Structure 1
Amino acid sequence: MSEPALRHPVADGTGPRRRVAVVGVAHSDCGRVDGATAFALHAQAARRALADSGLPRSVVDGVASAGLGLLAPVEVCEYLGLRPSWTDSTSVGGSTWEVMAAHAADAIAAGHAEAVLLVYGSTARADLKAGRRTAALDLGGRGPQQFEAPYGHTLISKYAMAARRHMHQYGTTLEQLAGVAVQARANAAANPEAMYRTPITVDEVLAGPVVASPFTKLHCCVRSDGGCAVLLAAEDYVPDSAHDPVWILGSGARLSHSLMSEWEDFTVSPAAESGRLAYRRAGVGPADIDLAQLYDAFSYMPLVALEDLGFCAKGEGGPFVDAEEGRLLRGGELPVNTDGGGLSACHPGMRGLFLITEAVRQLRGDYAATAPERQTGRRDRTPGLPRLALVSGTGGWFCSAATLVLGR
């Protein structure tokens, strides 16, 4: 890989910080992909993102990757034939990609990189189907987790406890929680890539088998294969790119807890702080946001995130996500997870990168001409494409959160 030519005198401290844009996004094949390795999905997504950007491969001098073990970025770069001078392998669960995007944007703005590729791939579903062992979260046996593991805590049970606390404290109902899944499925109906597109009702969600009370099967994300890639570049490259840019306007992150006993309030997620920081740095507020892409491994996650990110008051998340109100639908008051989210579209593991791709596609108006039923508009109902999107990832069991504000 040839050394990319610097286009701005920022690296030597003589120029201002550069603006940073998302210039390319893509998915690999997703859903049921039995014939591909995780590395192949990385490569497929990376090639497609570069093609989407219209920029040559030679501009990439940074790569961020996680999920394939200790040497993830090194092995991925070798597989892709890249030798970057900037890299990141942050791993904080589902919010990893929002954290990485913020790190990459800072590096590009400061002149430490020109273009950074964020890339992910996972065969989570195929591995399970084939009986292959995969890396699992260590919920016991070492470190702090040894003090909770004897009580049988699983990842889903931790989320279930938090949901139960919200129900107890604020009167949130099972029907309201089910509304998150129902609206996610309705949004997925227009997405040909979504694993599940058949509409569901609140009653069907409630009637499903219980996985961890109060969650039934449809309260939980799907398990899929898939890869994703996002290319960030300095503003100097925007004139050569294939699409109008989507700018990274602000970001924020927050680490919370590992042990549930160290989480002060089960009804407040770390997104309350990551969102506050992102809004402040972008110079906007919740009322300015046209659409939101929120991590939804379980139905409770978007509900509490909507509260913590300021879209409704604390304790009002239940009525806000009620299926009959339809606020989260593509044509609703605040479109959320417009591709169907992890509950219906795909969830190969750390899904946070998919949140960015869908936000970018909506802001660019990718669906406006070819699939208008998938395209959202402005929250104030004035004509035109959406202007601002919020992306917020959650890691672990509300252990971390990271939020981005993206804008055209």
Structure 2
Amino acid sequence: MDKDFEVLRKLSNSLGEKEVEEIIEALRRPPERYYLRVNTIKSSVKEVLSCLREEGIRAKRDEKLSEAIWMKVEGPNEIEISGEEKEVVADKFAAESVYQGSNLYAPGVIKSKRVNPGDEVIIKAPNGVIVGKGVARMSSREMLVRKNGIAVETKQSVYLIPKIRETRAYLDGKIYPQSLPSMISSLALDPSPGERILDMCSSPGGKATHIAQITNNKSEIIALDVRNSRIRKLKENISRMGAKVRVIKMDARNSQILGKFDKVILDPPCSALGVRPKLFETKNEKEIEVLSRYQYSLARVIPKVLKRGGEAVYCTCTLTLEENEKIVEKLTELGLEVIEHEPFLGDKGIGEYHFSDRVQRFYPNRLPVPGFFIAKLRC
């Protein structure tokens, strides 16, 4: 069997081989829509649409979520190749960013020979796929030793997303790039002003700042993460968005010391098999097993930190049963009840679980979104 997307092909037992192949093909492309959340703490949808239009970016209101806007992703585009260009190879994650129009930064370069500043270069992924073309801003040696800076300025890419992080609206904290399912996970939590809310694995802060927005900065939100770099990014986004969130550097498995909460959200580290685009995917069953064990070590804390009658959302940006329904099943064995949630725009869960009709899956071949999973539970 082809090792590319091997783990996802196991879903053929539940979804059928044709459906799984359609999912994999969709994962190879970015979503047709690039979503942003408008930060209503600082602005309004109308104002943000106007600000973006002034910078030449056309965005539209989402049909379902009042705080969501989106832009059409351009592509696929043909890369013009003369044969005279030099080559630079980027790592998987950098290549997937260039594929959508981002510049290539030095830490993402894994191979470069005889390139000088000003040279035209073709940018390739490790599997040889051409993702873009641009102009070198560093020599080969600089690309391979520098820890920051633009190595190649991208001029052509297979797909193109506007450089949102350079806009005034982004810099002023009026928008946050966030997928539709990720926004839905915070809405599903249904947070209210005055509640005590825990975000167990918070960085970069999309859900914590969204919860602050939903409650108009009138809830007590505690956001946890473990690494300094992630804490730094979390604090930057909270500050930019004007959100009232308390950040604590802590392993969420120890969060019982923080007392009880009305609401908890857990978006744990996962295989990210739903993230788009993916030029290739080589994760294996052993890696999924290790991740699943870690996810459960975090999830099993939920009933210990929730107040009686409190509610939690468990969500991931992946599609495996091991990281989704099987974790939820273990949580029901700990006494948590799976309950209905809204908005429900995706599909029901898979597998023969008593709660399958109450969990939500997003498939990238059915909607212009990444693969995603959401479950809501009550203590």
TM-score of the superposition, structure 1-length normalised?
0.28
The structure with the larger Rg is 2
Higher relative contact order (CA 8 A, sep 6+): 1
TM-score of the superposition, structure 2-length normalised?
0.30
Structure with greater helix percent: 1
